[in-house]
């Protein structure tokens, strides 16, 4: 769901109480909010699932008008809620949650500009021509701002194949690539 | 509260994409773009770290991670539904005319035709139970549900009302019906590895004009 559609759905919920509109926002953003909270709660012994549940309930009841980006708004609410909980428990004195630094395993996923070519060659060696073209095109579409579903749909249209076929093809390429890169 | 984060790459909020990024499976250009976004945006970095923590917690099994998140999502949704029930619903606020009710309960010929194979072969694996008092629709999937099932509810004008993803292994799945007016509806199920099928159901069947 695009950011503007999320904002439209949210404001429809605020204006009319349309629960289907609330459901659309919830469905689109729950996972993102949980992952965000999991990271913020990491190492401070708070249960991310409970905090996220409490925040969605608060959002549903309060029906606050949002300007700008719905996801960013909810992320800010999560961050502030965690700060409030920690402050109540005398666990922080400032307005900040202790910051996590990039974990070592994430750092290992980082490439330097000059490693890009080698990285692409590695992927190229693992796949046949058609498979390589498909994932490269998928990459371009994602960089252009399309989400996964749109990218797969555009690839299906361009190749004249069914969307499900493209989805399956991409899944099998990723499995093959994962296996090959591990070796 | 205002948005100060750069969300021009909102399509990167995709756990599957992030897991593929962390595993080095993405083409170089896209990989570098995500990497730049992680460095540029604290909020995005926090999200990516959340995905990473959860992915590692689930034994680096993406399907398991997704299923766990889907279960939590359904659980929280159920809690929200209970909260919703205490609020006045659309149907409690509105009284319908006989003409409106006739229109709401009029079966859609196209969807009724698509129902035929389901009825004839009895291929449907899901049962629908409606509680008009609690405004809850419950899908009973049974123990045999081993795959993710996408499903969508349409009204009799083929307007999409709700869309959900039922995680693999879920034995039942509850939805709110408080915002749905009385009438006939159609639920389309799209299992990952089986034929799609449609089931029809009524909301407030007691209001169906004879």
Using one digit for the tens of pLDDT, what is the confidence trace for A27-74?
A: 999 999 999 999 988 877 778 999 999 999 999 988 888 888 999 999
* Lowest model confidence (mean pLDDT) among A7-21, A64-78, A147-161, B133-147: B133-147
| Closest listed residue to residue B76, CA positions, set A80, A73, A59 | A59
Q: What percent of chain A has pLDDT over 90?
A: 45
Complex ipTM over 0.85: yes
B3 — pLDDT class (breaks 50, 70, 90): very low
What is the pLDDT at residue A89?
74
State residue B1's pLDDT score. 37
Task: Check whether residue A119 and residue A65 sit in a common domain.
Answer: no
Backbone angles phi, psi at A25, to 5 degrees: -65, -45
Among A67-81, A103-117, B97-111, B195-209, whose mean pLDDT is lowest? Answer: A103-117
Q: How confident is the model at residue B165 (pLDDT cuts 50, 70, 90)?
A: confident
The confidence band for A13, taking pLDDT boundaries of 50, 70 and 90, is confident
Mean pLDDT for A22-29 is: 94
A98 part of a folded domain: no
Q: Is residue A79 located within the same domain as residue A127?
A: no
Q: Which of these ranges, A1-5, B108-112, B153-157, B171-175, has the smallest mean pLDDT?
A: B171-175
**C-alpha distance across the termini of chain B, in Å:** 52
Q: Hey, are the CB atoms on A142 and B30 less than 8 Å from each other?
A: yes
Q: How far apart are CA A21 and CA B176, in angstroms?
A: 12
pLDDT tier for residue B10 given thresholds of 50, 70 and 90: confident
The answer on pLDDT for B103 being more than 90 is yes
Residue B98's pLDDT band (cuts 50, 70, 90)? confident
Cβ contacts (< 8 Å) between A3 and chain B: which residues?
7, 10
Asked if the model's pLDDT at residue B112 lies above 70, the reply is yes
**pLDDT at A151 exceeding the cut of 60:** yes
> Domain boundary residue among A88, A121, A143?
A88
Place of tokens 């009524």: B202
* Preferred mutation among A1, A4, A13, A19 to probe B, highest tally of B CBs within 10 A: A19
Q: How far apart are CA A111 and CA A117, in angstroms?
A: 10
Q: What is the mean pLDDT of residues A116-144?
A: 91
Q: What is the domain range of residue A48? A: 3-88
Examine the domain organization and report whether A64 and A118 are in the same domain: no
Can you give the CATH number for the domain in which A57 is found?
A: 1.10.1740
Task: Identify the band that residue B33 occupies on the pLDDT scale cut at 50, 70 and 90.
Answer: very high
Same domain? A134 vs A75: no
**Minimum distance, in Å, between the CA of residue A102 and any CA atom of chain B:** 8
Strands B172-176 and B136-140: antiparallel
Total domain count for chain A? 2
Give DSSP secondary structure letters for B40-104: H-HHHHHHHHHHHHHHHHTTT-HHHHHHHHHHHHHHHHHHHHHHHHTSPPHHHH----HHHHHHH
- Domain coordinates in residue numbering, chain B: 10-60, 92-207
Size (chain B), residues:
210
Q: How far apart are CA A32 and CA A55, in angstroms?
A: 13
pLDDT score for B171: 78
Q: If you search the block for the tokens 């998140």, which residue do you land on?
A: B69
Q: What is the pTM of this model?
A: 0.66
Could you say which of B1, B35, B75 has the minimum Cβ distance to residue A110? B35
Average pLDDT, stretch A155-172? 90
Would the CB atoms of B31 and A181 count as touching at under 8 Å? no
Q: What's residue A78's pLDDT?
A: 92
Q: Which chain B residues have a beta carbon less than 8 Å from that of A32?
A: 13, 47
What is the average pLDDT across B12-34? 93
More confident residue, B171 or A76: A76
Answer whether A106 touches B (CB < 8 Å).
Answer: yes
Identify the band that residue B7 occupies on the pLDDT scale cut at 50, 70 and 90.
Answer: very low
User: Tens digits of per-residue pLDDT, B77-91?
Assistant: 988 988 876 665 554
Same domain, A7 and A76: yes
A81-116 residue pLDDT tens: 988 888 877 665 555 555 655 666 677 778 888 888
Nearest-CA neighbor of A124 among A173, A71, A169, A73?
A: A173
Which pLDDT value is given to residue B117? 63
Taking all residues of chain B, what is their mean pLDDT, rounded to a whole number?
A: 83
Residue A102 counted as domain residue: no
Euclidean distance between CA atoms B39 and A112, whole angstroms:
13
Phi, psi at A40, each rounded to 5°: -65, -30
The verdict on A8 and A82 lying in the same domain is: yes
* Spatial separation of the C-alpha atoms in residues A68 and A162, rounded to whole Å: 36
Q: Do B29 and A67 touch (CB under 8 A)?
A: no
Residue A94 lies in a domain: no
> How many whole angstroms separate alpha carbon B109 and alpha carbon A132?
45
Question: What pLDDT score was predicted for residue B67?
Answer: 92
Residues 149-178, chain A, touching B (beta carbon < 8 A): 174, 177-178
Average pLDDT over residues B170-192: 85
Contacts of A43 (CB under 8 A, 6+ apart): A98, A100
Q: What is the CATH number of domain B92-207?
A: 2.60.40.3080
> How many A-B residue pairs are in contact by the CB < 8 A criterion?
167
Cα separation of B210 and B206, whole Å?
10
Phi, psi of B152 (to 5 degrees): -140, 140
Q: Looking at beta carbons, which residues of chain B come within 8 Å of A120?
A: 27-28
Kindly report each contact of residues A127-132 with a partner whose C-beta sits within 8 Å and lies 24 or more positions away, as own/partner.
A127/A173, A127/A176, A127/A177, A127/A180, A131/A169, A131/A173, A131/A176
In whole angstroms, what is the distance from residue A121 CA to residue A84 CA?
Answer: 49
Contact A23 B176 (CB under 8 A): yes
Half-sphere exposure of A131 (CA within 13 A, CB side): 18
- Judged by CB atoms closer than 8 Å, whether chains meet at B24 and A18 is answered as no
More confident residue, A132 or B172: A132
């Amino acid at each position: 769901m695009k950011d503007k559609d999320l904002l439209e759905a949210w404001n429809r919920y605020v204006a009319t109480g349309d629960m289907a509109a609330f459901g659309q926002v919830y469905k689109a953003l729950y996972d993102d909010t949980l992952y965000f909270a999991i990271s913020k709660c990491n190492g401070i012994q708070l249960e991310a699932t409970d905090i996220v549940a409490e925040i969605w309930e608060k959002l549903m009841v309060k029906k606050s008008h949002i300007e700008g980006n719905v996801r960013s708004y909810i992320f800010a609410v999560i961050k502030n809620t965690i700060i409030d909980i920690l402050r109540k428990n005398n666990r922080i004195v400032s307005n900040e949650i202790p910051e996590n630094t990039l974990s070592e395993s994430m750092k290992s996923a980082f490439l330097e500009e000059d490693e890009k070519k080698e990285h692409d060659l590695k992927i190229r060696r693992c796949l046949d021509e058609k498979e390589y073209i498909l994932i490269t095109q998928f990459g371009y579409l994602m960089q252009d701002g399309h989400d996964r579903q749109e990218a797969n749909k555009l690839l299906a249209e361009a190749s004249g194949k069914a969307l499900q076929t493209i989805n399956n093809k991409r899944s099998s390429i990723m499995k093959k690539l994962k296996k090959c890169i591990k070796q | 509260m205002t948005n100060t984060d750069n969300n021009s790459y909102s399509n990167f909020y995709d756990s599957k994409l992030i897991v593929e990024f962390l595993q080095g499976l993405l083409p170089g250009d896209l990989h570098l773009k995500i990497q730049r976004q992680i460095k540029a945006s604290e909020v995005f970095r926090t999200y990516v770290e959340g995905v990473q923590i959860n992915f590692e917690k689930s034994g680096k099994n993406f399907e398991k991670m997704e299923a766990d998140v889907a279960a939590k999502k359904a659980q929280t949704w159920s809690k929200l539904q209970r909260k919703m029930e205490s609020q006045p619903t659309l149907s409690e606020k509105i009284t319908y005319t006989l003409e409106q009710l006739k229109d709401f309960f009029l079966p859609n010929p196209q969807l009724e035709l698509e129902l035929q194979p389901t009825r004839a072969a009895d291929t449907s694996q899901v049962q629908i139970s409606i509680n008009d008092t609690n405004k809850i629709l419950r899908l009973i999937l049974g123990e045999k549900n081993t795959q993710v099932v996408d499903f969508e509810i349409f009204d009799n004008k083929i307007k999409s009302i709700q869309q959900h993803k039922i995680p693999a292994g879920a034995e039942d799945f509850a939805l709110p019906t408080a915002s749905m007016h009385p009438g006939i509806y159609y639920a389309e199920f799209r299992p990952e590895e089986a034929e799609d099928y449609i089931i029809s159901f009524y909301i407030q069947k007691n209001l169906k004009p004879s």
